[in-house]
Amino acid sequence: MQKKIIALAIASALVAPVAAMADTGGNVGLYGQVNLSAERINDGATTNSKSTSELVNNASRLGVAGNEDIGGGLTAMFQAEGSVDQASGSNTFTFDRNTFLGLKSADFGTALAGRYDSAYKISTRSLDLFADDTAADNRGLAGVTLMGNGHDARRQNSINYMSPSMGGFSVAGAVAKQQTAAEGSTVSLAGMYGMEGMYATLAYDKTKAIAGASGKAFKLGGSYAIDAFKINAVVEKTTDTTTAGDTKGTNLYLGGKYSLSSTDAVKLAFTKRGDAKLNGGAATNNAKQVTVGYDHEMSKRTSVYALYNKVTQAATNAADPSTVAVGMKHAF
């Protein structure tokens, strides 16, 4: 059970493609996910607000992955995954998601090189009850820096390591050196612990973007499940350093899920971005997000869902948008 809990946190990008392939000596498999929703969106403007209806693509993807047993307890593995837009039918396709080459060992862990989720992102991504939903994903508020590149990020030119579970405890780390001086470098670290019904993590991320600017973040997250209930929580502290000074913020995420049956669940989530203050001054970008949703699994690979999402901003005359969505997700 301990290993299963840890795997949920660190293997979201690895498990899907591997599960789609037979576990033999050498494999290559195609996999993907299509997630579309029909949405009614109100822009929440303080004057002359408008509502629109849209068909929205939610992190749909297509990928190819493979592995080979090379002996000595080692498995060579690769993955190339890109975003697809089923709503617009855009013919632009690049491998912009987790794309890597690596080695895996049951005794020594997994090492990957390429474009991959930061350890900071891996540590709590599974705690977001509305992950990959364009309207309700908690990264719309939390995990962002003023420099525009969030800590919950996918990093290119990165070297990543994930340890095996040791008594329920595992670690993950990544370093990335970007291709130009303006893009800078990043370091990301996370420790994770899982036991039956419980998960806890502590993570750190530091980004150096350009001369005189950097960002860092700490977060503590966890979940607890008992019977049909599950509660998730994350608290995060961020600091952006620019030539103007330090801007510090505190973000909070709370989520709850109740399983009505083996195929149905109701969910509620609250995200708060607050106390973003330059040099200890007044808060500048406080905002709150509340989401309520319902999920129904039609099969192991197909599900439907409905949700309502509302964002409220503290700034005077700021828009408070809301969204009603009904969608379907299919994995292959």
Determine the distance from the C-alpha atom of residue 219 to the mean position of all C-alpha atoms in its chain, rounded to a whole number: 14
H or E segment and range at residue 278: strand 264-278
pLDDT tens for 65-80 read 999 999 999 999 999 9
Beta strands in 118-228 (DSSP E): 154-162, 169-177, 185-195, 198-210, 213-226
| CB-based contact 325:42 (threshold 8 Å) | no
Query: 304 pLDDT exceeds 90?
Result: yes
Query: 110 pLDDT exceeds 50?
Result: yes
- One-letter amino acid for residue 68 of the chain: E
Q: In this predicted structure, what is the pLDDT of residue 152? A: 85
The tokens of 130 are what? 């509305």
Residue 93 lies in a domain: no
Residue 232 lies in a domain: yes
Could you list the residue range(s) of the whole structural domain that residue 64 is in? 2-87+99-331
> Pick the residue with more confidence: 286 or 25?
286
Q: In this predicted structure, what is the pLDDT of residue 249? A: 83
119 three-state secondary structure = helix
Query: 315 pLDDT exceeds 80?
Result: no
Query: 316 pLDDT exceeds 80?
Result: no
Q: In this predicted structure, what is the pLDDT of residue 147? A: 40
- For residue 286, what pLDDT band results from cuts at 50, 70 and 90? confident
Residue 111 lies in a domain: yes
Helix, strand, coil percentages in the chain from 3-state DSSP, rounded to 5: 10, 60, 35
In the chain, the percentage of residues whose pLDDT exceeds 70 is 82
- For residue 22, what pLDDT band results from cuts at 50, 70 and 90? very low
Range 199-222 average pLDDT: 88
Q: Give CA–CA dist 328/99, Å, rounded.
A: 26
Q: In this predicted structure, what is the pLDDT of residue 146? A: 42
Residue 272 lies in a domain: yes
Residue 92 lies in a domain: no
pLDDT tens for 36-58 read 999 999 988 888 889 999 999 99
Residue 113 lies in a domain: yes
Q: Give CA–CA dist 127/235, Å, rounded.
A: 12
Q: Give CA–CA dist 272/267, Å, rounded.
A: 17
pLDDT tens for 117-169 read 999 999 999 999 998 877 777 766 655 544 445 788 899 999 999 999 999 99
Closest CA to 66 of 105, 11, 28, 101: 28
Q: In this predicted structure, what is the pLDDT of residue 254? A: 96
Q: Looking at the 3D structure of the chain, how many domains does it have? A: 1
| All residues at 6 or more sequence positions from 195 whose CB lies less than 8 Å from its CB, including other chains | 1, 2, 5, 168
Query: 6 pLDDT exceeds 70?
Result: no
Q: Give CA–CA dist 318/15, Å, rounded.
A: 41
| All residues at 6 or more sequence positions from 311 whose CB lies less than 8 Å from its CB, including other chains | 44, 140, 141, 287, 288, 289, 320, 321, 322
Q: In this predicted structure, what is the pLDDT of residue 212? A: 64
Q: CB neighbours (10 Å) of residue 3?
A: 12
Q: In this predicted structure, what is the pLDDT of residue 270? A: 95
Q: What is the CATH number of the domain that holds 259?
A: 2.40.160.10
Q: pTM of the entire structure?
A: 0.86
| CB-based contact 77:104 (threshold 8 Å) | yes
